[in-house]
Structure 1
C-alpha cells in the first residue's frame, strides 16, 4: 500500500514537472517571437542593407526573353558572372550580347531544355568545367496556357508541370552540389501570385505555382536543419501579372493600381530580395499581407474581395 502511494506521488510529481517544463518552453518561445518581431520592426525603419553580389556566379533559366532577360542584364550590371540558360539559342544569344555590352560581369550562354533531367545533369557538368561551380540558381523559366480545365489537353498539362515544376527539381538536384562545394549559395524560385491565389483559366498553371511554393518551403526546412544551415539560402518570388507576353488576355479592373508589371521592375525587385536574403516576396509586396489577412476571414469574405479586385486572365481560345 505504501509502495503504491510512493509510486503515485512520484508519477504525479513527474507530470507536474513536465507541465511546468512545457509552460516555461512556451513562454520562452513567446519571448523569442516577440523579440524577433521587435527586431524586424527596427529593421523596417532603417535603410535596407543589401549584400554585395559582384563575385557571385549566377545561373538563370529562361533568359531568352521577359523577366529572365532582365535578370541577366541586372546581375551583369552588378558585376556578377551570369550564366544564361534557355531552349531558344537565338533569343538567348541576344540576351548575352546585350549583357556583354555592359562590360561588367562575364556572361555565358548555354542551351538546354531544363524540363529534361538528363540535359540538366549534363548542363551542370558543362558549367562546372567551363565556368566553375555556381553560387546562385534562379529558376525563372515557365509557361502559361490560359484556358478552362476541360479545354486543357493532357499534353499541355504534362508540359506545364514539366517546365514549371520538374525543371526546378532537376536544377536543384544538379546544382546544389556546386553550392555545397563552395559552402555557400542561394536558390531563388519564381512562383507567381497564381501560387498564392487560385484563378480561373489557370488551373494547371496555379497547381504548378502552388507546387513551387511547397517545394521551396520544404527545401528551406531541409537546408535549415541540415549541415549547410545559414550557408545556402532560399527565396521564393510571387510576381503579379507581368508584361512578358505570357498573359495574352489579361483582365484588370484597376489598371492604375494593379496594372501589368514591367519586367525590368520585377527583375530589380527580385535582385533586391536576393540581396536582402528575403524568404518570400510578392510583387507588389502588399499582396502577400493582403492574402494572409484575407485567409483569416470567413471564406465568403475572401471571395467578395476577389470579385471586387476582379483581376486574372481570359481564355486564350476566345
Structure 2
C-alpha cells in the first residue's frame, strides 16, 4: 500500500482505538473461561505468586507451582487443593537454566502441557549499584529476565502448535521508571517489559493470535520484597488485591496491566512532561524503602 493511503488509515485506526478505549470505560470487557487450564507460576511460594495461584485455583485451574522455597511452595499448593484445584509443587531455582529445563520436561511427561505460563519469580538487592555484589547483579538478571526465555522455550511451542495459551510476564513500575538504589532490578524489569512487547509482536507476526500475552506492572506490594515501602500517592498494596487485578486483566486478555490503574495515567504524564517536570512529578510520590549505601567518596 502506498504511504499516502497508509497515513489516513493510521489516523483512522488511532481514532477508533481511542473510541474503543472510551467505550471500555463504561462497558465491561467480555471475560474468557480458564477452567481446566494447566497453569504454571514461578515464584509461587509467597507474595503475588501465591495470591495469584489462589485466584487461579478459584477458577478450577490445574496448577504447577515453582519456587526455590520448598516449604513456601508446598504451603501454596496445599491451600490451592483446599480451594478445589489440583496443584503440583516443585522446588526450582529459576537462576539455573538446567534446573528449569529438567523440571519442565518432568512437568510435560507427568502432568501435561502448560497452557498458561506466569513468569513471576523475582529478586532484588536494594543497594547502590557500585556496591552491589557481582553475583547479586548476575542473579537478578538470571531470575528476573533470562529465566523467562528458558520457560518460554520450554512451554510456548506447544501453545503455538495449539494456537492457544497465555504468557504472563510480571514486570514492575520499575520497568517503566527509574528508582535509585535498585539499578539492576530496574534494568531487569525494563528488559521484562521489552521481552513482553517483543514476544507479543513475534506471536502476531507468526499468526499465533490464539496465544495471548499480558505484562503485569504493579507499584509496591506488601510482600516483604523490599522493606518498609511507602508512597504518598500510591501506597503499598496487599498481594490479594493485586492478584485480583492481575486475574481481571488475564481474563480480558489485557496486554499491559498497571496496578493500581492510576499508574497508567501517571506513566503517560511521565513520558509527556519535560525532564524537570517529570522529576517533580515523581517527587510528589515520595517513594521510599529501606536500602543500603555502601559507596563512600575517597578521602584525600
Which TM class, normalised by the smaller chain length?
over 0.9
Contact 1:201 1:313 in 2 (8 A): no
Deviation at 1:294, TM superposition (A): 2.4
Q: How many residues align?
A: 294
Counterpart of 1:227 (choices 189, 207, 218) is 207
The alignment's C-alpha RMSD in Å is 1.6
Counterpart of 2:276 (choices 277, 297, 300) is 300
Aligned pairs for 1:156-175 (under 5 A) are 156-175=136-155
Counterpart of 2:51 (choices 70, 78, 83) is 70
Aligned pairs for 1:1-318 (under 5 A) are 21-103=2-84, 105-228=85-208, 230-252=209-231, 254=232, 257-316=233-292
Deviation at 1:316, TM superposition (A): 4.5
Runs of 4+ in 1 over 6 A off after TM superposition: none
* Structure 1 portions without partners, runs of 5+: 1-17
CA deviation profile, 1:176-229 (whole Å, cap 9, x unmatched): 12312432111001101111110011111100100101111111111111131x
SS in 2 for 1:236: strand
Identify the range of structure 1 (230-239 vs 105-114) with the bigger mean alpha-carbon deviation. Answer: 105-114
Determine the C-alpha separation between the residues in 1 that align with 2:285 and 2:165. 38
* Structure whose alpha-carbon radius of gyration is higher: 1
Determine the C-alpha separation between the residues in 2 that align with 1:299 and 1:276. 35
Relative distance call for 1:177 and 1:68 in structure 2 (3 A) is same
Deviation at 1:22, TM superposition (A): 2.2
Determine the C-alpha separation between the residues in 1 that align with 2:225 and 2:292. 10
Deviation at 1:123, TM superposition (A): 1.7
SS in 1 for 2:25: helix
Contact 2:42 2:66 in 1 (8 A): yes
Determine the C-alpha separation between the residues in 2 that align with 1:126 and 1:233. 25
Contact 1:114 1:171 in 2 (8 A): no
More helix by share: 1
Normalised by the length of structure 1, the TM-score is: 0.88
